[in-house]
Homo-oligomer: A and B are copies of this chain.
Amino acid sequence: MSRDRLIYLPLGGAGEIGMNAYVYGYGPEGKERLILVDLGIAFPDMDTTPGVDIILPDVSWLMDKLDRLEAVFVTHAHEDHVGGIGHLHGRLGGPAVHCRRFTANHARRKLKEQGHDERAVVVSEPWPAQVEAGPFKVGFLPISHSIPESSALVIDTPAGRIVHTGDFKIDLVPVLGEAFDADSFREVAKGGVRALVCDSTNVFNKHEGRSESLVGPNIRELVAGSKGMFVATTFASNVARLVSLARAGEAAGRSICLMGRAMRRMTEAAVEEGILTDFPKTVSPEDAASLPRENLMLIVTGSQGERRAASAQLSQGKYFGMEMREGDTFLFSSKTIPGNEKEVARIMNAFSEMGVDVVTDDDGLFHVSGHANRPDLETMHALVDPASVIPMHGEHRHLREHARLARSLGREGVVAPNGTMLDLAGNKPTVIDRVETGRTYLDGSTLVGQFDGVVRDRIRMALNGHAVVAVMVEDDDQIMEEAWVSLRGLPESGRAGRDLAEEMERELGQRLGRVDTRTAGDDDALEALIKKAVHQVAQEEIGKRPEVTVLITRLASE
């Protein structure tokens, strides 16, 4: 009889920063009982996923194994860890979702928004409490990060203990919530840890990480020296930062106004769960508008330049009655996530045109990262002292660098990108399967597969424009010699100023007039002929090759 397997299978998050979803399993081959750690989303962009609302991990692999799925565990409330709960809970057969109180607040809302029963969410107390899920015992070990109640998971199995860090940094003075407690990790490590599954985001940053507590004094000084209205943006989920910002405003005698939906949601959740107890009093945007601007501090969403968020709105003009003016200060208490540079710069330039002073983390220590840098990863490896390190939460290059780091420190380091199934039960992790993984797009209200062609067609229309042709064929396969052409995303006129659609109609008229009955009776042949003609005219007139849709109407005899 073959021994039981302890499997690790990332479905998302290992090979990208986003949409985390890690499967663990224990049992005989093909009968492993499963748990899922995190179920996050990633965000679309115009380059690769235009029109898509959110990107979810593809959980197809789990679909025929739902009877073996014991539960879902969520490490913390960031969207790339909890954001998929609402959209995928139903498909996963409605499993129990275990998390800590603050995370649960968000998970419940997400289930509710998608019409699921929020009672699937089970609040777990922190370690040493443990949740039993089949052969697993899972404990939430508090760890510092940039959102309240982040937890590493201590996953006990008959084959040994795994520590799954979730996202983390080593912060001894996190301003809000639990400080990093090295002792708790030492304690957990005592009996030996088979594998440390570990955050890799900042592996390329060689400096020691900086504490959240370093940011407050700088912000306080900046606010104290500002004259007009002071506006700050940060990640809404960074409740500690919101506290630092608000206290800086309060110290300068300013009234605090929170703007943007996420900002209000996060603080509400933090208050509801007893995390935020002494947040400075805030005023509503309506009341704020009537206060002298030098007595005001707005804390707003949109640090990444998101078009509909408060920052972008304020850079365009009035937002809930508030308006930026010359002499105001706008602080990005955030970093720009790679890919968002242009959107953020657009806001900065708009503020520059208004005469608003923009301050960023380039101008001083107004932001610290929520992730462990390289020296902090070394500390974590040393504390937990696992047999193997399995890097996660990173692009491929991060995983590879992190595995190298582990090896350089004398431990096994395994690069296991999405779809790599490892068995952790043996002497060292071994790859036992490669599973097809991918992305699922939430597009409006439907889920679209990555390879369905929907997004590909959108990209093609955006690059090439779209020519639409309607032709009619009479019942005796006589084509009406007129074709109707309509263009979208293409210039109206071509090289010599001629109307492009008319040129196409003229050319089509000529060609259709010469078509034999067989071609006229064959949709595919007719379509090919029409596309060819459209492409030829487009090439001559505008030097492009548009997408072409042909609508053939066949007239039935009456």
Contact of A454 among B443, B489, B551 (CB under 8 A): B489
Instruction: Select from chain B the residue with minimum beta-carbon distance to A486.
Output: B549
In the assembled complex, A439 has its CB within 8 A of some CB on chain B: no
In the assembled complex, A400 has its CB within 8 A of some CB on chain B: yes
The smallest beta-carbon distance between A555 and chain B, in angstroms, is: 8
In the assembled complex, A276 has its CB within 8 A of some CB on chain B: no
Evaluate contact between B463 and A461: CB separation under 8 angstroms. Answer: no
Evaluate contact between B204 and A490: CB separation under 8 angstroms. Answer: no
In the assembled complex, A1 has its CB within 8 A of some CB on chain B: no
Stretch binding the partner chain, chosen from A42-50, A85-93, A209-217, A220-228: A42-50
In the assembled complex, A468 has its CB within 8 A of some CB on chain B: yes
In the assembled complex, A509 has its CB within 8 A of some CB on chain B: no
Residues of B within 8 A of A493 (CB): 446
Evaluate contact between B553 and A484: CB separation under 8 angstroms. Answer: yes
In the assembled complex, A502 has its CB within 8 A of some CB on chain B: no
In the assembled complex, A495 has its CB within 8 A of some CB on chain B: yes
Residues of B within 8 A of A463 (CB): 50-51, 458
Contact of A489 among B461, B490, B544 (CB under 8 A): B461
Contact of A397 among B352, B490, B491 (CB under 8 A): B352
How many residues on chain A are close to B (CB under 8 Å)? 63
Q: For the complex, what is the distance from the CA of A547 to the CA of B458, rounded to whole Å?
A: 11
Q: For the complex, what is the distance from the CA of A127 to the CA of B444, rounded to whole Å?
A: 62
> Of residues 418 to 466 in A, which have CB atoms within 8 Å of B's CB atoms?
443-446, 448, 452, 454-455, 457-459, 461-466
Q: For the complex, what is the distance from the CA of A549 to the CA of B467, rounded to whole Å?
A: 10
The smallest beta-carbon distance between A330 and chain B, in angstroms, is: 11
Contact of A396 among B342, B349, B464, B547 (CB under 8 A): B349
Residues of B within 8 A of A470 (CB): 470, 484, 551, 553
Contact of A459 among B348, B443, B462, B472 (CB under 8 A): B462
Residues of B within 8 A of A518 (CB): none
Contact of A491 among B399, B448, B494 (CB under 8 A): B448
Evaluate contact between B345 and A484: CB separation under 8 angstroms. Answer: no
Evaluate contact between A443 and B544: CB separation under 8 angstroms. Answer: yes
Evaluate contact between A454 and B491: CB separation under 8 angstroms. Answer: yes
In the assembled complex, A338 has its CB within 8 A of some CB on chain B: yes
In the assembled complex, A542 has its CB within 8 A of some CB on chain B: yes
Evaluate contact between B489 and A455: CB separation under 8 angstroms. Answer: yes
Evaluate contact between B342 and A338: CB separation under 8 angstroms. Answer: yes
> Of residues 359 to 404 in A, which have CB atoms within 8 Å of B's CB atoms?
362, 395-397, 399-400
Q: Given A352-B397, A446-B495, output 4 extra A-B contacts at Cβ < 8 Å.
A: A339-B341, A445-B544, A452-B492, A462-B462
**Nearest 3 Cβ contacts at the A-B interface:** A445-B543, A444-B543, A444-B544
11 pairs from A and B in contact (CB 8 Å cutoff): A15-B349, A51-B463, A338-B345, A349-B395, A352-B399, A353-B417, A468-B551, A470-B470, A472-B472, A472-B553, A553-B553
